[in-house]
Amino acid sequence: MAQFKNISIVLKPKVNSEFESILTNLVGWLSRRKKSISFIDKEKERLNKIFKGDLKNLNFISETEIHKSSDLIITMGGDGTLIGVCRNITKNSPPIFGVNMGHLGFITEFTKAEFFDQLEETIKGNYKITPLNLYQVEVFSKKKEKATFKSFFLNDVVINNNHISRMLTLSVESEGEHIYNLSGDGLIISSPIGSTAYSLAAGGPIIQPSVNAITLTPICAHSLTHRPLVIPDHSNVVIKAARPDESIKLTLDGQQAVVISSNDIVKVTKKKAKVVQLIKNPSRTYFRTLKEKFTHGAREIK
- Name the residues annotated as catalytic: 79
Give residue 127's Cα distance to chain centre: 21
Distances (CA, A) of 35 to 38, 46, 70, 223: 10, 22, 11, 57
Give the contacts of 288 (CB within 8 A, at least 6 positions apart). none
3-state class of 300 per DSSP? coil
3-state class of 245 per DSSP? coil
Among residues 105, 117, 46, 50, the alpha carbon closest in space to that of 75 is found at 105
Among residues 81, 11, 73, the alpha carbon closest in space to that of 42 is found at 11
Give CA–CA dist 82/78, Å, rounded. 7
Among residues 242, 250, 226, 231, the alpha carbon closest in space to that of 174 is found at 231
